[in-house]
Structure 1
Amino acid sequence: MASLSLDGLTKRYGDNAVVKSVSLDVSDGEFLVLLGPSGCGKTTTLRMIAGFVPPSGGSIRIGDTDITRLPPWKRNAGLVFQSYALFPHMTVAENVAFGLEMRKTPKAEIGPRVAEALRLVRLDGYGERYPRQLSGGQQQRVALARALVIRPDVLLLDEPLSNLDAKLRLEVRLEIRALQQQLGLTTVMVTHDQEEALTMADRLVVMSEGSVRQVGTQSDLYERPADLFVADFVGRSTMISGVVTGPGTFRSDGGLPLSCQASSAEGPATIALRPERLTLGAAARGLDNHAAGTVTFVSYLGALLDVHVRLNATDHVVVQIPNRSDGQVPAVGDTIEVGWPASACLVFPREAA
């Protein structure tokens, strides 16, 4: 295993830069997730690391070796594709062995290494089956075994769970994380699924329009987002537009005066509020910010409820509360108190939107 370093990595197609000077350091054994909306450049970044897309600028290093111009088969990076990319005419064992054969591994070594890789992904005894005889989750494991069998320095995962149903996604992502930790593999994964990213990563990289917006742990990005894009993309937030009127004071576009702990300069700004930081009912009156509102919608989420409350013609908030066993939940049309502490207000200058 080895560390991975990207320095000023850039990719242009004509005048269009789809990846803009990305610099990252991934520690030996770290699980890093590239997270962002479709078209943000995360998959192109991963494919440049793998060697399938030539960079327009910058460099890529695995350990002390510059691999920027090396072909894919000389990078010792295992890649799991979104579509699995299994050969339908080959058995499971033949699929897993393919990378070893391309590397001219001695035949005497191939069998034991294939068996070891299949054991790691819990597919012992499946070697003679064909991909069409496997479930989606089993095909995913074959693709993972094929990447692991070459004993890669870096494991690359390109939306590896996107073709699985919701229940299977949960199971397989935990399996991948446990296996990565067991092997100590330096891993980079691309996803647009926040829950996957938050569950699996040691650190996350949020990308937008080809650039890195923030790098950090789950709590860094959720509790201390660098800008409004990150606050909106990671987790859920209610946005209230308005103006910072002085130190710790804010007035919404709907005329709602609010207290915050930000030292933002006076001027147009947006406040982001996490739904679990808000309180409903009489307890709201003792908080820094509180107002009466009307319930407009209630979303049933099983153990939780999302209560949508309109505070005035312009401002509304979403409050997340436990689903109480006594069945006493707000109903649409109810008038209800809403409150939150000043510390819950994440304030961003309007130009950061």
Structure 2
Amino acid sequence: MARLELNQLSKRYGDFFAARDVTLDVADGEFLVLLGPSGCGKTTTLRMIAGFIEPTAGTVRLGDNDVTRLPAWKRNTGLVFQSYALFPHLTVAQNVAFGLEMRKVPKPDADRQVAEALELVRLGHLGDRLPRQLSGGQQQRVALARALVFRPDVLLLDEPLSNLDAKLRQEVRVEIRKLQQSLNLTTVMVTHDQEEALTMADRLVVMSEGSVKQVGTQRDLYERPADRFVAGFVGRSSFVSGTLETPQLFRTAGGVPVACNTTLMPGPATVALRPERVMVAPAPLSELDNDFPGAVEFVSYLGGLIDLHIRLSPKDLVIAQIPNREDGFMPAVGDRVHVGWTAASAAVFPGAGDAAGSDELQPD
């Protein structure tokens, strides 16, 4: 295994930066996930690590070696593509052996390594089949075996689960994570799916517009987001715009006074609320720092959970998520309720946002 270091890695096309000053330190055996929306620079960063894109500036180090200017075939990295990129006319075993042949590994050694790699992904019995005879999940595992067969220093995964259906995606991501842990394999994965990122990573890197916004564990990013973008992209948040009057008092665009606890200076600001931190009850929640009457505008049944959109004022709306229990409180559209949350639950960010007082539902 090898430590991976990126130092101020950038890629520029004319005046446009696809990636800008990306600095990361990935430990031996760590599973790091680059997370962000399309066009944020995560795939460009991964391909610079792999050697498929030459950086404009910065360095890539694998272990003790600076590999920034080495071609891809001279770097000991294994890459699993989003599309799997299997050769349709070659058998499973031949696909897995392809990289070894390019490295001129003697056939007896190559046959042994192919057999070991296929056993790792539980496909040892399917070596003679063609890709078209396999399911999507099996093809994905062939691509993984091909990336592992030459024992790479770093495994790179480019949206490896995006072509699988939801149920299979859940199963395969667990398999990949268990395999990575058993091999203690340094791994970097790119995804825009936050559920994949949260369930697979040791640490997350949230990117936007080519730059790193925040690096940390799942709890770090969820509980202490660095800015409004991270609060919206990792997990779900509803945002309420207004003015921070003191470090302990935020007033919404609709005039609702919200108790908070921040070190920001007074001025235009936005409060972010996690839906599961917003309590809902038929009567006042006087034990909480914040307690407001509101009207239920929308109810979304999610099985084990219920989403409620609750209007506090003509300009202020918050989202609450409550458990679906047989004996639980279950409001309907039009009901008057009380909503509340602690001051610590109100994350405050500078700037009132694009639409003051609007509710923003962020991607899951």
| TM-score, normalised relative to structure 2 | 0.95
Secondary structure at 2:124's aligned position in 1?
coil
After the TM superposition, which parts of structure 1 deviate over 3 Å for at least 4 consecutive aligned residues?
Answer: none
Post-superposition Cα deviations, 1:251-310, rounded to whole Å, max 9, x if no partner, equal: 000100010011210000000000111111136232111111110111111111111101
**Are the equivalent residues in 2 in contact too, given 1:206–1:212 (CA < 8 A)?**
yes
The aligned residue for residue 334 of structure 1 is 335
CA distance in structure 2 between the aligned counterparts of 1:309 and 1:322, rounded to whole angstroms: 16
Unaligned runs of 5+ in 2: 355-364
CA distance in structure 2 between the aligned counterparts of 1:118 and 1:7, rounded to whole angstroms: 35
CA distance in structure 1 between the aligned counterparts of 2:173 and 2:326, rounded to whole angstroms: 31
User: How far 1:103 moved relative to its partner?
Assistant: 0.6
**Are the equivalent residues in 2 in contact too, given 1:227–1:352 (CA < 8 A)?**
no
User: How far 1:33 moved relative to its partner?
Assistant: 0.2
The aligned residue for residue 247 of structure 1 is 247
CA distance in structure 1 between the aligned counterparts of 2:352 and 2:226, rounded to whole angstroms: 13
The aligned residue for residue 272 of structure 2 is 272
The aligned residue for residue 136 of structure 2 is 136
CA distance in structure 2 between the aligned counterparts of 1:272 and 1:160, rounded to whole angstroms: 32
**Identity among equivalent pairs (%):** 69
Superposition pairs for residues 69-108 of structure 1, below 5 Å? Answer: 69-108=69-108
The aligned residue for residue 25 of structure 2 is 25
Letter in 2 for 1:348: F
Letter in 1 for 2:342: P
Superposition pairs for residues 1-353 of structure 1, below 5 Å? Answer: 1-281=1-281, 282=283, 284-326=285-327, 328-350=329-351
**Are the equivalent residues in 2 in contact too, given 1:228–1:352 (CA < 8 A)?**
no
**Are the equivalent residues in 2 in contact too, given 1:288–1:339 (CA < 8 A)?**
yes
CA distance in structure 1 between the aligned counterparts of 2:279 and 2:223, rounded to whole angstroms: 18
Letter in 2 for 1:144: L
Letter in 2 for 1:178: K
Letter in 2 for 1:302: G
Residue 302 and residue 253 in structure 1: after superposition, are their counterparts in 2 closer, same or farther (change >3 A)?
A: same
User: How far 1:247 moved relative to its partner?
Assistant: 2.6
User: How far 1:207 moved relative to its partner?
Assistant: 0.2
Secondary structure at 1:129's aligned position in 2?
coil
CA distance in structure 2 between the aligned counterparts of 1:322 and 1:247, rounded to whole angstroms: 32
Post-superposition Cα deviations, 1:289-347, rounded to whole Å, max 9, x if no partner, equal: 11111101111111111111011101011111100113751100000000111010000
Secondary structure at 1:325's aligned position in 2?
coil
Residues matched between the structures, number: 353
Give the root-mean-square deviation of aligned CA atoms: 1.1
User: How far 1:351 moved relative to its partner?
Assistant: 7.3
Secondary structure at 1:167's aligned position in 2?
helix
Secondary structure at 1:61's aligned position in 2?
strand
**Are the equivalent residues in 1 in contact too, given 2:243–2:352 (CA < 8 A)?**
no
Secondary structure at 2:232's aligned position in 1?
helix
